[in-house]
Amino acid sequence: MEKSFNPKGVKKKPLVSKKMVFFVIVPISLVVLLIVGGRRMTWKEIQADEVAVIINNITGNIKTIDRAGAVVYYPFIQDLYILDKREQEAPMASSNISADFPQGNPIILKTRDGGDVSIDLVIQYKLISKIASKVVQDTGFGEEFKEKWIWDYARTICRYEFGDLSISEFPDSVKREEKIRASTNELNSLLNPHGIFVTSLNFIDYRYYREYAEKIHERRLADKEVEEQVQRASAARKNQDRVVTEETKKLDVAISRFGGTLHQMERAAKAESDKIRDSGKAYLIKAMLDADAEYDRLEKHAASILAVKKAEAEGIFALKKALEGAGGRNLVKMEYARRLRNAKVIGTPVLKSSEEIPQLRIRERLLSETGESEVPQPPAKEEGSSHGEGAVHGNPSGHGEASGHPAAAGHSGH
C-alpha cells in the first residue's frame, strides 16, 4: 500500500504546463519539421561531378550552377534538375538490348558498292557544364538526349561516312580510323551547340549478311592465297636479291683483289722502270762524264801531239833552213869527223892472185890437168863499189882505208 505524504485537499501540479507546450514544444517541433522536410524540398547538395539547372516556372528564367555544394531553391516556384557531367558512354551495338530496342541498336548501313553492313560502336561523351541548360531546354529532364540527339546524329553521320567505303575496304583498319575521326569531328560540330561533347567513337565490330559473309570469306581466302603467293614471290625476290648481293660482293672482292694485284704489279713495274730509267740516267751521266773526260784527255793529248809535231816541224823547218846553206855541209863534215875519230884503220896488202899467191897457182895447175875451166872472177868495179859503200856508211871494219885504193881515199876527202 502506497503512502502519500501530500496533504489532503491539495491539488498536484503537472510537470509541463499548457503554456510551455504551446510556446516551447510546438515551435521546436515546427522547426524540426521544417529542417527535416526542407532539406528535401528547399535545398539539395550538388557533388563535384554534377551540374544543377534551376528553372523559374513563373518567369521562365534558367540558371546553371556548375559548382559543388548546397543549392537552395523554392519548391513549386522553381524546378531543380541535376545532371551528371562525368564522361559517359552510349553503346550502339546489337548487344544493347532493351524494351525500346529488343534487337539492339547497331548502325546498319549500305556501302558504296551496295553491300549491307552492321556496325557496333560505343560513343564516349560528356555534357558541357557551362551550357547544361541547353540539354534541359531541348530534351527535358532525364537521359532522353541520348536517343534524341546522340544516337540519331551518330546513326546518320556514321551511315554517311562509313557508307563511302566498299565491302572490301571495311577490313582495312586505317580507312576505318579515318572515317571514325571524320564522324567524331562532324558529331562535335553538330552536338556542341546543344551542350554535348563527344570525346571518342570506339569501333567494336562490323558484320555482313550471311550471303555477303560467305562471299567475303571466299574472297578473304582468295586474298590470303594471293597474299601467300605474293609473300613467296617477295621471299624469292629477297632471296634473289640476297644471292645477287652476295655474288656482287664476291665479284667486288675478286675485282678488288685483282685490282690490288694489278696495282701492286703496276707499282712493281713502275719501280722497275724507275730503277731502269735511273740506271740509264746514271749510265748516261757517267758515259757523258767519261766521254767529256776522254774528250778532254784526247783533246789535251792531241794538243800535246800537235804541239810536239808542231815543234818537230818547226825544228825540221829550222833544220831545213839551217841545211840549205853552208851549215849543211859543215854538219856533214862534222858527222864524218865524228865517225872517223872513233874509226880503226886496218890495212891489208893487195896482191895479184896469179903471181903472188902460191895456192892459186897450184889450183890453176890442177884445173889445167883436169881440164876444167876456171871460175870467172868478179869484176873489179863491183869490188871497188863495195869498198866505197863501206866507207860512206862509216863501217868500222875500215875496208876503204885498209885497201889503200885511191877511190876510197877520194871519198874520204869528200
Tens of pLDDT, residue by residue over 344-354, are: 767 665 555 55
Same domain? For 357 and 401 the reply is yes
Same-domain pairing of 58 and 113:
no
- The answer to the question of residue 319 being in a domain is no
* CA distance linking residue 115 with residue 105, whole number of Å: 19
What pLDDT does 33 receive?
61
- 175: in domain: yes
Structural domain contains residue 27 = yes
Residue 127: closest CA among 182, 189, 50: 50
**Phi-psi sector, 239: left (phi>0), alpha (psi -120 to 50), beta:** alpha
Same-domain check for residues 55 and 92: no
Last residue of a domain, one of 191, 208, 225: 208
Pull the grid cell for residue 334. Answer: 862534222
Domain holding 146: CATH number? Answer: 3.30.479.30
Q: How many domains does the chain have?
A: 3
Domain boundary among 50, 81, 112: 81
Q: What is the pLDDT of residues 160-182, one digit of tens each?
A: 888 888 877 888 889 989 999 99
Residue 265 located in a structural domain: no
pLDDT at 165: 87
**Domain check: are 119 and 184 in the same one?**
yes
Asked whether the whole model's pTM tops 0.85, one would answer: no
Phi, psi for residue 127 in degrees, rounded to 5: -85, 140
Domain identity same for 203 and 96: yes
At 189 the pLDDT is 92
| Torsion angles phi and psi, residue 24, rounded to 5 | -115, -55
Residue 369: per-residue pLDDT: 75
- How far apart (Å, rounded) are the C-alpha atoms in residues 214 and 306? 130
**Given 62, 81, 100, which residue is the final one in a domain?**
81
Q: Which domain, by its residues, includes 133?
A: 87-208
CA Rg, the chain, in Å? Answer: 82
CA 196 – CA 74 distance, rounded (Å): 28
Domain-located, residue 252: no
User: Do 30 and 119 reside in the same domain of the chain?
Assistant: no
Both 135 and 96 in one domain: the answer is yes
CA distance 373 to 366: 11
* 93 and 204 belong to one structural domain: yes
Low-confidence ranges of the chain (pLDDT < 50): 1-5, 8-10, 375, 378-414
In a domain, 256, yes or no: no
Q: What is the distance between the alpha carbons of residues 131 and 175, in angstroms, rounded to a whole number?
A: 34
Whether residues 365 and 385 share a domain: the answer is yes
Residues 73 and 162 in one domain: no
195 Ramachandran zone, left/alpha/beta (phi>0; psi -120 to 50): left
Q: What is the pLDDT of residue 222?
A: 86
Q: What is the pLDDT of residue 116?
A: 83
Residue 354, domain member (yes or no): yes
Same domain, 112 and 194: yes
Is the residue at 112 inside a domain?
yes
| Pair (197, 98) in one structural domain | yes
